[in-house]
Amino acid sequence: MKERLEQVCQEALARLETADSMEALNEIRVAYLGKKGKLTEILKSMRDVAPEDRPKVGQLVNEARAQLEGRLDGRKRELAAKAREEQLRSETIDVTLPAKRNLVGHRHPNTIALEELERIFIGMGYEVIEGPEVEYDYYNFEALNIPANHPARDEQDTFYINKDIVLRSQTSPVQVRTMEQQKPPIRMIAPGRVFRSDEVDATHSPCFHQVEGLVIDKGITFADLKGTLQDFARELFGPETKVKFRPHHFPFTEPSAEMDVSCFKCGGKGCRMCKGSGWIEILGCGMVHPKVLRMSGIDPDEYTGFAFGIGLERITLLKYEIDDMRLLYENDDRFLRQF
């Protein structure tokens, strides 16, 4: 894997040095850093890597990506400067005319936050797995130990296509599908769009995004859950971040908890962002319920695991101190170009 990664990196750097146009740079970016690029293929092949080697391989891939992105940006600046020099030599500029400004788009705040979350968990040895947005009722509810009379299965909360098919209300079905198709050990995160019958307001939307995680292996305990999420919080919000777990209830985990982080704005002293409490709730988590493991074909007497779910928009709102979720989707360029 390391040799393959070095070969891909050297190949990409060699192509960057000979690239003579922005179009060529974009082709190289897609070929190596895109969704179907060679680095992404290496990440997808991590399921064939021994579990103990995944963190190291994930780190190597992140370093390779950072190196290629840095050189790509540098090459873009070089070509832009060269093109500018050619333009100045070949054109006569009337400086009395108003300048023409090209509006160039960039990544959405949600995308920036998601890429940071993926970077953190890939560095821990997790793989990123996606699943269908239109899902069977069985995977969305029953396989997660959510009974037929649970409020979440009511049509007032969930969008039903028919009695057996729904628009998924969480990305947990991806976890169930992974447990059915893949033998432990499992370390994965499942980002994606989800749907719930909510009225649009400053903190709710009928369409939003989640990032859910799952770890299944022998000897996994709640201590592993706490340590993992503590490292995640410190990496995302800063090394001084503290975490607090509060008992909660989820049908698919037992015991269950909600996790708070110390307010990164005031350091836990109390401010407008944390509503004076010094703490901010960011996710729900717990140990995977034995019944969920058994329904997915995993022996709960041999394996244990933990799961967690993060609202991506919540992370984005906290990270950039945005107080209204609707701003993310109104396509107001004056707002989006701040990021």
At residue 269 the predicted structure's pLDDT band, cuts being 50, 70 and 90, is confident
* Residue 64, H or E segment: helix 54-90
**What is the rounded average pLDDT of the residues 119-139?**
94
Mean pLDDT, the chain, rounded, equals 86
- Each residue of 160-182: b (16+ CB within 10 Å) or e? eeeeeebbbbbbbbbbbbbbeee
Instruction: Kindly list the distances between the CA atom of residue 130 and the CA atoms of 5, 49, 127, in Å, as whole numbers in the listed order.
Output: 24, 19, 10
Token pair for 285? 């988590």
d(CA 253, CA 24): 49
At residue 1 the predicted structure's pLDDT band, cuts being 50, 70 and 90, is low
- Collapsing DSSP states into helix, strand and coil, what is residue 105? coil
For residue range 132-171, what is the model confidence (pLDDT) as tens digits? Answer: 999 999 999 999 988 888 777 777 788 999 989 999 999 9
**What is the rounded average pLDDT of the residues 44-59?**
72
At residue 2 the predicted structure's pLDDT band, cuts being 50, 70 and 90, is low
pLDDT of residue 44: 73
pLDDT of residue 278: 87
Contacts of 100 (CB under 8 A, 6+ apart): none
For residue range 80-114, what is the model confidence (pLDDT) as tens digits? Answer: 888 888 887 787 666 777 777 777 777 889 999 99
* Residue 116, H or E segment: helix 109-123
pLDDT of residue 49: 66
Q: CA neighbours within 13 Å on the CB side: how many for 90?
A: 6
For residue range 307-335, what is the model confidence (pLDDT) as tens digits? Answer: 999 999 989 988 888 888 888 888 888 88
Is pLDDT at 303 greater than 80 in this prediction? Answer: yes
d(CA 20, CA 275): 54
Contacts of 124 (CB under 8 A, 6+ apart): 55, 58, 187, 228, 231, 232
Is pLDDT at 128 greater than 90 in this prediction? Answer: yes
For residue range 199-239, what is the model confidence (pLDDT) as tens digits? Answer: 888 878 899 999 999 999 999 999 999 999 999 999 998 88
Is pLDDT at 11 greater than 90 in this prediction? Answer: no
Q: Is the pTM of this model over 0.85?
A: no
